[in-house]
Copies of this chain bind each other. A is one copy, B any other.
Amino acid sequence: MNQYQAEQMFIDYFSQLGGGFTADSFASLGVSAQLCYYDKGEYLIEQGCAAPKLFFLATGLVRYVSVSPTGKAFTQSFAQAPSLAGSTRAMVGQTPALFSIEVLEPVICLVFDWAEFFSQMKNQPGFLESYCALLEALFIGKEERENSFVQLSAEQRYLQFIDQYPHLLPRIPLQFIASYIGVTPVALSRVRKKLQLSGSD
């Protein structure tokens, strides 16, 4: 994976969001990106710190995790390549990030300075529409997740997770799934036991 390939993936990713964004090359956009590598266990951004960078994951898998004042970790989401990653809040509001981004599988990514990236890209025809489409999708996702937390039991949220991310299930430790669906690993273990007792699959 070289920089050129990553940039091509990025352009493809953005084009398929809808919104009519197209581009031949990064050079023509006038944005500069740095190709970076992160190993499992490293962090792209850290909770409490400034996080003005936008990441485009060409390979790898990460999770967004926030730790409460009482020390409990909560996984807000997973993101697997190809995907953008970063804290919208920290980028646009220039406030400290409310979560860390932890690498679960080795990441190769492009790193942009958000302010520079946005000021360049907003003049590209179709970019803002694509970005809006992306934001809409993010928002809708959060809305659905909000509903899950309020209206579903831990068991139902686990089944929903399996349904939505079957490919992630074998790749991430159960404790992370537990922290994603908002229960303790102990509780998730109970749920799994109960499920394998009833349905025998």
A binding-site residues for B, Cβ under 8 Å? 66, 68, 70, 72, 74, 76, 88-89, 92-93, 98, 122, 128-129, 131-133, 135-136, 138-140, 142-147, 149-151, 182
Contacts and interface: CB of A to CB of B under 8 A. Distances in A.
Q: Which 4 A-B pairs have the closest CB atoms?
A: A142-B142, A135-B135, A128-B128, A68-B151
Given A74-B150, A98-B144, A142-B143, 6 more contacts: A68-B151, A70-B151, A88-B140, A122-B129, A146-B149, A149-B149
In the complex this chain forms, how many copies of it are found? 2
Contacts of A128: 128-129, 132
* Residue from A76, A132, A144, A150 with most neighbouring chain B CB atoms (10 Å): A150
A89 B140 contact: yes
A74 B142 contact: no
A155 to B, nearest CB: 14
Contacts of A138: 139
Contacts of A151: 66, 68, 70, 72, 74
A147 B66 contact: yes
B149 A88 contact: no
B147 A146 contact: no
A93 to B, nearest CB: 7
A70 B143 CA distance: 19
Contacts of A146: 76, 142, 145-146, 149
A158 to B, nearest CB: 15
Contacts of A131: 132
Contacts of A150: 74, 149, 182
B93 A140 contact: yes
